[in-house]
């Protein structure tokens, strides 16, 4: 092609999938940093020097897009897509309007939401799982349901975190990327559910594009990956809210128990 088009010395760069590229954009090159992607789906991604698989809990383990490096990731199939689904259903003009109503309301949700609108991968690997609102009553309003959606996705990330790292490994810095990183409200909920600080860095919402550009630079210049795939400047650090953290510590077991109680019903429904 280069000869036919009259191009000279065309470098060919190895590319990456969206999550691996996003990780390069966020500086996730070793186990000291984890990326949390709030896109259509949700992903926790960490680089590793070794291949460490956990297929029983639907944890992915693949070659990273950097030499001699592996990566592990937990995947929840519906994250920001839950908000895109919920906003018109609840009568909001768009997702920003939903978020504004939830923030203005300010009340913690007393409704649980299972965000399994497309089934779930990590940790259940259950294609038959469905989305669920649980605990509706006469006082439940659109803002309460909107907050339940935000919290349900955060609970799903807690499941994803626990199987990715287990009890003996810490995630290090958690860098938030993806379109959902624009919501400070969601960041506070996530930090409080996970009981972890979340770091927001420049260009977080375009991390995969930045990562792809960095891979092209590496192919052209031959620089050391560690010198190019650095973390962008931090723009914010979100810490857990003490009151929310205590409340979510009680809510997470209920969230998990709800899926366990409905698992067989999901499967029977899929078979009928």
Residue 1 has pLDDT above 80, yes or no: no
Q: Cβ–Cβ contacts within 10 Å for residue 124, how many?
A: 21
Angle value at C-alpha 229, between 228 and 232, nearest 5 degrees: 105
User: Which of 18, 30, 105, 195 is the catalytic position?
Assistant: 18
Straight-line distance from the first to the last Cα atom of the chain, in angstroms, rounded to the nearest whole number: 53
Q: Cβ–Cβ contacts within 10 Å for residue 90, how many?
A: 17
Q: 9-43: per-residue pLDDT in tens?
A: 888 888 899 999 999 999 999 999 999 999 999 99
Residue 183 has pLDDT above 90, yes or no: yes
3-state class of 44 per DSSP?
Answer: strand
Q: Is the peptide bond before 123 cis (omega within 30 degrees of 0)?
A: yes
Q: Which of 109, 123, 118, 131 is nearest to 192 (CA)?
A: 109
Q: Cβ–Cβ contacts within 10 Å for residue 149, how many?
A: 26
Q: 88-100: per-residue pLDDT in tens?
A: 999 999 999 999 9
| Residue 48 annotated as catalytic | no
Reported confidence tier of residue 203, pLDDT bands at 50, 70, 90: confident
- pLDDT at position 21, please? 94
| Spatial separation of the C-alpha atoms in residues 207 and 230, rounded to whole Å | 12
Q: What percentage of residues in the chain have a pLDDT greater than 90? A: 83
Q: What percentage of residues in the chain have a pLDDT greater than 70? A: 100
| pTM for the model | 0.93
Q: Which of 244, 259, 98 is nearest to 183 (CA)?
A: 98
What's the distance, CA 176 to chain centroid? 8
The fold for domain 13-271 equals Nucleotidyltransferase; domain 5 (3.30.420)
């Amino acid at each position: 092609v280069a000869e036919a088009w009259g191009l000279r010395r065309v470098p060919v760069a190895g590319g990456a999938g969206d999550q691996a590229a996003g990780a390069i954009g966020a500086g996730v090159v070793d186990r000291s940093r984890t990326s949390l992607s709030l896109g259509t789906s949700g992903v926790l991604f960490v680089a590793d020097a070794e291949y460490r698989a956990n297929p029983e809990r639907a944890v992915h383990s693949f070659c990273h897009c950097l030499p001699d490096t592996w990566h592990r990731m937990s995947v929840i199939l519906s994250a920001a897509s839950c908000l895109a689904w919920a906003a018109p259903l609840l009568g909001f003009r768009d997702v920003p309007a939903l978020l504004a109503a939830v923030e203005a309301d300010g009340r913690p949700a007393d409704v649980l939401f299972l965000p399994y609108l497309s089934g779930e991968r990590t940790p259940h690997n259950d294609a038959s799982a469905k989305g669920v609102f649980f605990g509706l009553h006469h006082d439940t309003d659109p803002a309460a349901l909107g907050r339940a959606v935000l919290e349900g996705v955060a609970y799903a990330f807690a499941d994803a975190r626990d199987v990715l790292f287990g009890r003996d490994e810490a995630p290090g810095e958690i860098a938030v990327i993806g379109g959902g990183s624009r919501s400070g409200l969601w960041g506070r909920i996530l930090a409080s559910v996970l009981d972890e600080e979340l770091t927001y860095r420049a260009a977080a919402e375009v991390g995969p594009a930045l990562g792809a550009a960095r891979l092209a630079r590496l192919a052209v210049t031959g620089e050391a990956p560690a010198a190019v795939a650095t973390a962008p400047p931090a723009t914010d650090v979100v810490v857990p809210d003490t009151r929310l953290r205590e409340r979510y510590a009680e809510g997470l077991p209920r969230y998990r128990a709800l899926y366990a109680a409905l698992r067989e019903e999901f499967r029977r429904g899929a078979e009928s």
